Amino acid sequence: MNPTEREELAGLLPSPGAPVLSGDRLLELEEHLMQEIARGPVSEGRPARPARPRRRFVMTAAPLGAAAVLGTALVAGLGTGHEGPGRDAEAVDLLNRIATVAAATHTTPVHDDQFIYQRTQGTQQIMDQGKDVFLRSDWQSVDGTRDGLARITVLSGPSGRGTREMRLDADPESTTYEELRALPTDPAELYDEVWTRTEGQGPSHEEAALERIGSMLPEATLLPELDAALYRAAARIPGVSVVDRAEDAAGRHGIGLAFGSGHDRDVWVFDRETLTYLGSADVALLEIGAVDGIGKTSAH
């Protein structure tokens, strides 16, 4: 997980009035959290305050019928974005087909007094000891005013097998779902904001902008207009290529969109038939929904 990614959406939103932790500091806190999990439950008197993971969601996409027809027209009307190297035509076409599907997705309204529930599977580097493979369930309040909960089951790795629960303190500086839905849904406006806010970041400006977009994809799956705008904004940025055979962190196969190289390479994975966003090669999205309380799941 890249440092730029860990800034979540802070760069696109009004300043909270206090300094934001650096990416390196967030990485250190997250590693410390996993060490605490390995040692056992947290004392009730001093609950841990882990670095909040970026939320990741799975959407239920509509059939592709109209998407395949509209893809070419959307590419033609997209515009060139910033000045720079040419974009990959295949990746631009796929991003716009995904955007068309996202815009047609029907979602259940989310209320401010609810919690966003998500279940993920992935890996976590534990300092220099190796990687844990984990399943994780999170409950985070929509408006960010109430404490949440993380329930983490380590399947294998240096932390040892087992399940731990960690309270997620309400954090006024953390980007909430409520703030996310206030972002612009016009692709050009969203692109301009992302490009401006990521100037001087990342191995390259293009990678930094794509990482920022990737950090918004999970929650945006519950906001169809924003979701579509993100993919169309990404289509304006050079450096994205299609991975015909991609695999998410849960081993699900699909088609991918990749950018970056080496340790900085990211792959977004989508169901090949429905173009549903499955997550990434690092963290798979297994379940998502808005629920009425901690401990509830989207299936109940």
Query: 62-72 pLDDT, tens per residue?
Result: 333 333 333 33
pLDDT band at 124 (very low <50, low <70, confident <90, very high): confident
Q: Is the pLDDT of residue 284 over 70?
A: yes
- The number of beta carbons lying within 10 Å of the beta carbon of residue 185 is 18
CA dihedral of residues 230, 233, 234, 236 (deg, nearest 10): 170
Q: Is the pLDDT of residue 165 over 70?
A: yes
Q: Is the pLDDT of residue 86 over 60?
A: yes
Distance of CA 287 to the CA centre of its chain: 13
Q: Is the pLDDT of residue 198 over 50?
A: yes
Q: Helix count (H) and strand count (E) of the chain?
A: 8, 9
**Element housing 206 (H / E):** helix 205-220
Q: Is the pLDDT of residue 120 over 70?
A: yes
pLDDT tens-digit readout, 213-230:
998 898 889 999 999 999
